């Protein structure tokens, strides 16, 4: 992962070098010149609880609403949207894909905006746009109109997951990140339960000229609008400016995540970090995993149709959707627990694909009259979602350097979108009602994804071993930042290498989490 020429080039730099403070991490300016001693564990734990209290509820609510909003299309399939909007099966599938086509197109611009603008404020603006577009669904009675609002949803949603990954890496240590990502990813399951009961409720709503699927869009859109307001006023942009932390706590919050060797953020886009990302083999393994593993996400918009085709009624299908949510919650929680154990992220993800593959095979092999068995197989396939939660919590621990981090996130989420674009087109009308071909492809996708996780873990383990055998690199051990004061005078302060906005290749003290 790092050539001998690159290592020798680093050693040509002399110790005691000076950096301009605009080129380093924002945390460097906050902590420069301070004592580098370790933080008291009790103080760190108290601070972490305070951060959890202010961040996790809002992040969980937001992720619940984003997933609920994405799955409104799938719920609407059994609430009358296809007949009311005169949609064919292919048009319905395209509405599922256009969301991710837009997501793909806007992913890197959104990541650049997240580097340029305050993270929380930029998220709030996108959540507001998202809410308005969702409310507009209720007025759409044609494929063209639905196509337009779904495109807007994708553009706005492209900011949410990368912003959550950035915020999680800003406030939490690498050991804490997987579990925190698990907390807000769990909301996908709660969203399925919430939407299942909501769909059941609106199904019994009798309003002249206003269909159940339209009520579903209005209710979820209004809730998302409220969430946008909450985020604007109460969600922090970074630990260096968080309103709920005192000036002393902000310094401690930054020192707490110093062990990550990833810094907090840097508002300057760096071309050399962008190029390094494109040359990094592990980034492309992660991207390929993201695309293939997300084929399983095609179940989001198809699950109601699939269960209905097993032989269950519309009312039964809406209630069974709540059980889907429970299964998703349990599988994600089990996956996160395994990932944070000695087993590690890579092996935990591989393990969770095993029941998913078994589930896909059961749905394909069981006879049509065994609808309970088919349903059980379908629920087992949901285990394949857990590796995505593990993977999201893993990404931020594998790269350093702010431009490299946002570029890596963008590449991975672009490939995520590619998988989600392709997924709906697997479910063609000619394969119904048993869908043997789609289920076979999902099983193959899960197996391939497991292999890619093994390859990724092997690459990381080999690089860690290589770094352990190297001599200590002193290039960035004695670095000062130059700060220009208001009177024009300059001063220099020593800063830890963790806050120099170095990439994981430049910082040889960086170790990859397995």
Rounded Cα distance, 439 and 427, in Å: 9
Per-residue pLDDT, averaged over 89-117, amounts to 89
Question: Among 122, 103, 106, which residue's Cα sits nearest to residue 231?
Answer: 122
pLDDT tens by residue, 258-300: 766 655 556 778 899 999 999 999 999 999 999 999 888 777 6
Class of domain 26-469: mainly alpha
Tell whether omega for the bond before 433 is within 30 degrees of 0, i.e. cis. yes
pLDDT tens by residue, 198-225: 888 888 887 877 899 999 999 999 999 9
Angle at 172 between CA 167 and CA 177, to 5 degrees: 90
pLDDT at 92: 87
Q: How far apart are the first and last CA of the chain?
A: 16
Say which range, 78-92, 259-273, 371-385, 449-463, has the weakest mean pLDDT. Answer: 259-273
pLDDT at 431: 84
pLDDT tens by residue, 6-64: 444 444 444 455 555 555 555 555 554 455 456 788 888 999 999 999 999 999 999 99
User: 362 Cβ partners below 8 Å, 6+ apart?
Assistant: 373, 374, 376, 377, 380
pLDDT at 37: 53
The pTM of this model reads: 0.80
Residue 67's pLDDT band, with cuts at 50, 70 and 90, is: confident
List the 490-495 sheet strands across, edge first.
Answer: 18-20, 479-484, 490-495
Sign of torsion over alpha carbons 385, 390, 396, 399? negative
**Which of 265-269, 403-407, 460-464 has the largest mean confidence?**
460-464
User: 514 Cβ partners below 8 Å, 6+ apart?
Assistant: 344, 345, 346, 457, 460, 461, 464
Q: Which residue has the higher pLDDT, 442 or 486?
A: 442
pLDDT at 203: 85
Rounded to the nearest integer, the mean pLDDT of the chain is 85
Domain ranges of the chain: 26-469
Question: Among 110, 119, 111, 109, which residue's Cα sits nearest to residue 26?
Answer: 119
491: left (phi over 0), alpha (psi -120 to 50) or beta: beta
pLDDT tens by residue, 116-136: 899 999 999 999 999 999 999
């Amino acid at each position: 992962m790092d050539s001998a020429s690159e290592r020798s080039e680093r050693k040509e730099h002399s110790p005691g070098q000076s950096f301009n403070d605009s080129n380093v991490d924002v945390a460097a300016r906050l902590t420069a010149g301070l004592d580098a001693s370790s933080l008291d564990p009790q103080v760190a734990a108290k601070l972490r609880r305070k951060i959890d209290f202010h961040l996790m509820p809002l992040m969980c609510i937001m992720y619940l609403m984003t997933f609920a909003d994405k799955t409104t299309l799938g719920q609407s399939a059994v609430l009358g949207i296809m007949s009311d909007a005169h949609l064919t099966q292919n048009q319905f599938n395209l509405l599922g894909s256009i969301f991710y086509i837009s997501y793909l197109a806007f992913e890197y611009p959104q990541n650049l905006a997240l580097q340029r603008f305050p993270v929380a404020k930029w998220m709030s603006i996108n959540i507001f746009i998202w809410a308005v577009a969702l409310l507009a669904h209720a007025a759409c009675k044609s494929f063209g109109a639905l196509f337009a609002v779904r495109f807007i949803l994708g553009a706005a949603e492209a900011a949410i997951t990368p912003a959550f990954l950035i915020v999680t890496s800003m406030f939490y240590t690498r050991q804490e990140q997987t579990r925190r990502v698990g907390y807000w990813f769990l909301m996908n399951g709660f969203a399925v339960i919430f939407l299942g009961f909501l769909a059941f409720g609106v199904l019994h709503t009798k309003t002249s000229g206003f269909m159940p699927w339209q009520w579903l869009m209005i209710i979820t859109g209004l809730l998302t609008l409220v969430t946008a307001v909450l985020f604007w006023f109460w969600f922090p942009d970074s630990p260096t400016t968080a309103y709920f932390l005192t000036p002393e706590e902000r310094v401690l919050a930054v020192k707490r995540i110093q062990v990550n060797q990833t810094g907090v953020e840097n508002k300057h886009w760096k071309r050399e970090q962008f190029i390094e990302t494109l040359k990094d083999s592990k980034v492309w393994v992660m991207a390929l995993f993201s695309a293939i593993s997300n084929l399983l996400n095609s179940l989001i918009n198809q699950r109601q149709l699939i269960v209905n085709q097993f032989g269950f009624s519309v009312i039964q299908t809406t209630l069974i959707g709540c059980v889907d949510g429970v299964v998703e919650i349990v599988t994600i929680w089990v996956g996160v627990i395994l990932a944070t154990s000695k087993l590690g992220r890579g092996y935990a993800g591989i393990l969770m694909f095993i029941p998913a593959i078994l589930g896909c095979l059961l749905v394909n092999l069981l006879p049509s009259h065994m609808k309970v068995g088919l349903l059980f197989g379908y629920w087992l396939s949901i285990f394949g979602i857990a590796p995505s939660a593990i993977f999201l919590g893993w990404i931020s621990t594998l790269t350093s350097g702010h431009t490299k981090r946002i570029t890596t996130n963008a590449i991975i989420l672009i490939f995520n979108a590619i998988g989600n674009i392709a997924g709906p087109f697997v479910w063609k009308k000619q394969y119904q009602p048993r869908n043997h071909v789609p289920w076979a492809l999902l099983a193959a996708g899960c197996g391939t994804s497991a292999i890619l996780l093994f390859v990724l873990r092997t690459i990381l383990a080999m690089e860690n071993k290589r770094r352990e055998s190297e001599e200590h690199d002193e290039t960035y051990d004695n670095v000062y930042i130059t700060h220009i004061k208001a009177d024009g005078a300059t001063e220099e302060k020593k800063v830890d290498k963790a806050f120099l906005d170095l990439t994981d290749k430049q910082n040889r003290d960086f170790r990859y989490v397995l």
